[in-house]
Amino acid sequence: MSSLQKGDESAFNILYDRYSDRILYFMFKMLGQDEAKAQDFTQDVFLKVVEYSHKFDTKKSFKTWVFTIAANHCKNYFRSNKQMVELNSSAESSQVQESNEDQYDQKEFRKRLNVEVDKLSQTYKETFILRYKEDLKLKEIAEILDCPVGTIKSRLNHVTSVLAEKLKAYETLVNQKTD
């Protein structure tokens, strides 16, 4: 970022190569797996990186800064389009109980987990993705989402409880297979 701030255009390419796939994945998950919109939003994020590069404090983490831009871009989109879905509404969705044991393998579990994560409200979804998909530290997530670490812990506790409940059929089968 220091090089970009000094006008080195090749520095942007390095940052883009390093972070664009991660931002694209984040956007893809946040936008309900709409790939075209995720690509557009990713480009918007990197345009903002260039536009606001002078505001970046080089003593801080670029990763945290770029994910903050991405998260805020999603928040603004959801606010303007009133597309926020509350976590409770996802609890009303029907749970599909598969009877065929072969469908409970790890691939199926991940697929089902992705479906359930997509149903979460934006707040819980972004917290979950930043922690478990991007492997960010609680402090980094708190900085990105501009809230206390305790709030992040609470959100993660809540979302993991909800997901555990929705995916408990997989746990039962895994326990049966290991016995």
Q: Is the dihedral of CA 115, 120, 121, 124 positive or negative?
A: negative
* CA–CA distances in Å: residue 104 to residues 110, 138, 144, 157, 177: 10, 31, 35, 24, 11
Q: Where in the chain does DSSP place strands (E)? A: none
Of 83, 107, 125, the one marking the end of a domain is 83
The amino acid that residue 73 corresponds to is H
Q: What is the CATH number of the domain that holds 63?
A: 1.10.1740.10
pLDDT of residue 24: 93
**Span 57-66, average pLDDT:** 91
Whole-angstrom distance, CA of residue 132 vs CA of residue 109: 15
pLDDT, residue 111, reads 81
Give the domain range for residue 166. Answer: 87-179
Q: How far apart are the first and last CA of the chain?
A: 53
Q: How far apart (Å, rounded) are the C-alpha atoms in residues 38 and 30?
A: 8
- The CATH number of the domain where 179 resides is what? 1.10.10.10
**pLDDT tens digits for range 111-161:** 888 888 888 888 899 999 999 888 889 999 999 999 999 999 999 999 988
Using left for φ > 0, alpha for ψ between -120 and 50, and beta otherwise, residue 80 falls in alpha
Confidence of residue 4 (pLDDT cuts 50, 70, 90): confident
Q: Are 136 and 85 in contact (CB under 8 A)?
A: no
Do 78 and 51 lie in one domain? The reply is yes
